[in-house]
Structure 1
């Protein structure tokens, strides 16, 4: 078993060559953070003389919560995402800081493992023996430190091949890709060298907050210390007694995450540069907030408590107060403008249709009037000759002989009698008169 562990460690050391540049960069950055605190905020505050000033300094990461199950605060788990037709996510293995490992699939027991010293040396690499085609997919190494709010993820792509010449390892720009031969052994690297994964002797001594006061011309590392407070409840105050009484922070600072400094009875000598330092050595937290405090002139006396004049003694009692009108101009929304534009266009279209209808009706009426005038003029130009011509034509039409075959002589005689002119009526009296005149 020791030989197997030694062989696994040798393989893991060889794979660490892929992450040497990133590890060196990480160590340099963490070393710079430990040298000095990082300034996360700078504020300018002005308060009148004699008032009370509160320099607010909050941090939820510094909230002290004692948890006896410290082995549950740090955990690492490996997940597998298969990109086949199923697209399933599967939990492969997880391990707590106490060293207990849990494998979720019975098929992987004795085949997939992780070093038991992972939380001591920071090597959380996953070892897979007897690699098969079902092991293909995207693996993710997830590191969680619930107490320090640390969440990191490292992804590795595993591909399986049956050809020895296709076996290789490379970086695709986002993740490491391993092409492994079927039946072989592969170590998927997941290394974290941050101090946060190192065991601490006493976590209560690792959290501290302190306030400093920096006089003009003095560097911040040589500033006067005002208050020191530890998560265990220990408090230290510096300076003269009157200064310790007027400058203080709450006793429940670590339970509330509120480390604000309260300064009462402000005076001009109290102005200056104040800084709030938050340190959590176990979690690697080093923050500093800077406050520029200025003390202004005292507030004018408040006349709101002065006795007011009675209504009957007030000369302005009968005056009517003019109402104050406030004009509020709200910017119109773009949709409102489009709606109004639609209304205007619809109105213009309706007016155009009405105008077109009126034009068509007027033209039609003019055309009818013109036709009526033409007919009337034609009727006025007609003479008596026209009527005589029509009568003559009618007579000619009536005098046409109809050559018809009659059935018998009676019908023929009736027809001939109808063609004969009607007998002329002669008035004898008129004829006698005409003869007498002659």
Structure 2
């Protein structure tokens, strides 16, 4: 069944904090929920469907998981979805919410995400180790010390070996993000950087430099989807999902391509369902835990052939108003925020801003009518969830 017109994103809100020392995880969920509902012109009483990552470890959902958030918000539900796929979960939730609305399971769906890794001094590496200790693969992998940074460094090294990609080309991705972040007063890193500054920052995991890495921040966000009848009554811009795909990529017993993420499958599925092609996309929100993450996604999603990502991003290829494909115009995870070490939600929110013509004027894509959102939850080079979403503004 086509997604187009089945439901509409009517509310979106990103929390302004990047260091929540004075707020609990529950407060962050409540504040982003109220912010998105206010943006839509709705209230808590209107929500009958709730979607939240089923993280009972406390990185996103507090307490005993999403049911604690339901009680904290005082929701009266007919439908609950706790699908967990890390940073890609919230993108996947958009499709789930649209299909739940189309099936009559709910009429107003709320999706929230929040996190406090900065306030709790929880680095991605420490989080990964804590989560991996009980995993079935841990006894085989943990003795070799895999952490987030060196796993992505391995992907970058492989791309350089196979395709001749350079550190300078990767640096252009950070440069593009910084050009956008300078217009975002909430961004963690608002200073425009040069390729030279990226390359002169310390090596974290060869060949990745410190500025090739995303920020660690608190915060979160929320979106609200509604039945077409509700959406049209609100007189808000009509943004509808028209294509979606989801997959889980893993090591397959050692038979895998380290440069082929789950986006190979999810991108193809989303484009086929939406009946559009990569060249039609006017704006892209791409998961940017590291610069190499963006490069691999561009190739896997079909924006350029395999091995050509370096050339695609060089010389400002991703800068709004300059390049061929504007990306992450809020500054993304590389400069703006990466709440809870999960960047999927903020990618949705900025895509909605672009389609509503509500992005900062300096980075707004003129007459933006078609946007793509892609998220990777987990790690490239290992196991991860992957979700692609195509959104359209309906006139």
TM-score by length of 2: 0.19
TM-score by length of 1: 0.18
Greater relative contact order (CA < 8 Å, ≥ 6 in sequence):
2
Looking at CA atoms only, which structure, 1 or 2, has the larger radius of gyration?
1
